[in-house]
Structures are given as C-alpha cells and as structure tokens.
Amino acid sequence: MSTAEVTVPTTVGKDAGGHDVPQGAVWMWRDSWTEALRHLRAMPRSPDILVFATIQPIMFVLLFVYVFGESVTVPGGDYTQYVMAGIFAQTVVFGTTFTALGVAEDVSKGIIDRLRSLPMFQPGVLIGRTLSDVVRNLFTFVVMVIVAFAVGWGIEGTVPEALLGFAVLFAFGYSLSWVQAWIGVSVSSVEVANSAGFIWMFPMTFISSAFVDPSRLPGWLEAIANANPFSIVTDVVRDTYNGVSPGVDLWYAIAWIVGITVVFSYLAIRKYQSATAR
C-alpha cells in the first residue's frame, strides 16, 4: 500500500539568519494586535497623558463657543452647531501626535532594535502603534461629545448618518497616524518629534472650514482652505451630524484617507526597516 505525499502549506519564511519568520494575514493581525496591547496596557500607568489630552480640546470648545461664538457668522447661523464638527476633527488630528512621540521614544530607547530582532511580522510594530492610538483618541472623543452636548450641540441627522460621520473622522485620524509614524522613525529625538508632529497640523486645521466659512477668507486662502483634505473631512462630518447629504465630498474624503494611508504607511514601514537607536 502506497502512501501519498501531502504538502502542507506553511505560513513562515526565513530571515537572514535562517530563523522562521511569520507571514500571512493571520500572523500580521496577531502580531499587530499584540503590539497594540503593549501600548494599551501602558495607558493606565500614565493617566496624566489622557487627562491633558482631554483638557486641550475642552479649552478649544469653551474658547470658540463662548469667546468667538457671537462674532463669527457661519452658514445656518448657529455657530455652536457649526464649530463642533471642526473641534471634533481637530481633536482627532491632534491626538495622532502620540504616534510620533511613541515611535520616536521606542527608537531612542532601542526598543525598535529589539523588536526587529524577533521572529515577528515587522510592520506590525507600526500597525499596532497606530491602532492603539485610535483607541486613545476614542476615549478623548467620548469626553468631547459629552462636553459638546453640554454647550448646546446636538445631532440633527439620523443615527446611521452620525455613525458615518464618526467613521470618516476616525478613518482620517488613522491615516494621519501613519504620517506621524513616519515622522517618529525619521527624526533624531522625541523632542524633535514633538515639534515636527505639531507644526504642520496648525495650518492644516486653521486654514480650513473647521472654524470659519472659507468664503470669508482672502481669495488665495479660500482656495487653499477649500482644497484642504481637513476641510473636506470636516464638511462631511458636519453634514452627517446635521442630516445633510455630503454628496461627492464623501468620496473625496475617502480618496484622501486611502491615499494618505497607502503613501505614508509605505514610507513609514520602509523607514522603520532602517531605523536604529539614537
């Protein structure tokens, strides 16, 4: 009696040292989630980070609603209803700076070098970092929604429309986390990552439709604001909260989200492969 030879597909490859290296979707998600849990477990040990990350957007709410609210004219006339979408978007975008800081810290402490020596799905280090920061952003965002309701904001559309707005907002934040991951593995120190992670976000969030109607800006700034992906995402989120169809802007927002994610995940992972402790 002959025995048929059966070839069992394997999910591992070999690294330069001949060690087994996990490959495939299952390994990717397992290692990425393991790395995400590493950062999430550290969050309760640093509650001050969450506290200060929450205080800043609350200050923006109070500043724009109560200080500028009566002096800014916006479509619809209700500045609170208008500006909250912008503050939500700004909060999610600013929250991505933790990615740059965390990655830069891991590089400077040599943790990245240690992780690269392990038989694991290497891009999972950055994927896990970006996923954990989405969870961190979610905590801050929940607090922001509570504050928004307290100052008179409300969801005027349907629940599915509001959920669509939330999904677009967090997808955009996730895409920008890859920009921050690329910054984190590219700069020379955590201090530089802090500056580089913030410096480009201020013009992006303020030269936009987040806080004022772009038509009230000078002509050249209006053109920049209208083309700004942050404006497009903010307008989509604002429309879904207010029960208005975002129309083609939704597809523009999705295109920006996918494009930013693809380009900067590639750049970040490629740079990660050569990053060393500084």
Each residue of 147-191: pLDDT tens digit? 888 888 888 888 899 899 999 999 999 999 999 999 998 887 888
Return mean pLDDT, the chain. Answer: 82
Q: Quick one: pLDDT at residue 14? A: 53
46 band by pLDDT with thresholds 50, 70 and 90: low
CA angle 104/106/108 to nearest 5° reads 70
| Average pLDDT of span 220-224 | 92
Q: Quick one: pLDDT at residue 50? A: 67
Max distance between CA atoms of the chain, in angstroms, equals: 91
Q: Say whether pLDDT at 5 is over 50.
A: no
Q: Say whether pLDDT at 12 is over 70.
A: no
Q: Quick one: pLDDT at residue 197? A: 83
Question: Higher model confidence: residue 198 or residue 4?
Answer: 198
- For residue 241, give the nearest of 118, 82, 127, 13 by alpha carbon: 82
- Return the top range by mean pLDDT from 25-34, 103-112, 117-126: 103-112
Q: Say whether pLDDT at 1 is over 60.
A: no
| Average pLDDT of span 114-133 | 80
Q: Say whether pLDDT at 134 is over 70.
A: yes
Domain boundaries, the chain: 21-272
Q: What is the pLDDT of residues 81-90, one digit of tens each?
A: 888 999 999 9
143 band by pLDDT with thresholds 50, 70 and 90: confident
Q: Quick one: pLDDT at residue 169? A: 94
* Helix axis angle, 97-108 to 124-150, nearest 10°: 140
Q: Quick one: pLDDT at residue 276? A: 59
Q: Quick one: pLDDT at residue 2? A: 42
Residue 128: C-alpha distances to residues 135, 163, 175, 216, 241 (Å): 11, 24, 14, 41, 30
Q: What percentage of the chain has pLDDT greater than the value 90?
A: 28
Q: Quick one: pLDDT at residue 278? A: 56
Question: Higher model confidence: residue 270 or residue 60?
Answer: 270
36 Cβ neighbours under 8 A, 6+ residues apart: 127, 128, 129, 131, 132, 135
Q: What is the pLDDT of residues 223-264, one digit of tens each?
A: 999 999 999 999 999 999 988 999 999 999 999 999 999 999
Q: Quick one: pLDDT at residue 114? A: 77
Q: Quick one: pLDDT at residue 10? A: 39
Please list the alpha-helical segments (H only) found in the chain.
Answer: 25-42, 47-62, 79-95, 97-108, 111-116, 124-150, 159-186, 190-199, 201-206, 219-227, 229-241, 249-272
Integer-rounded Cα Rg, in Å, for the chain is 22
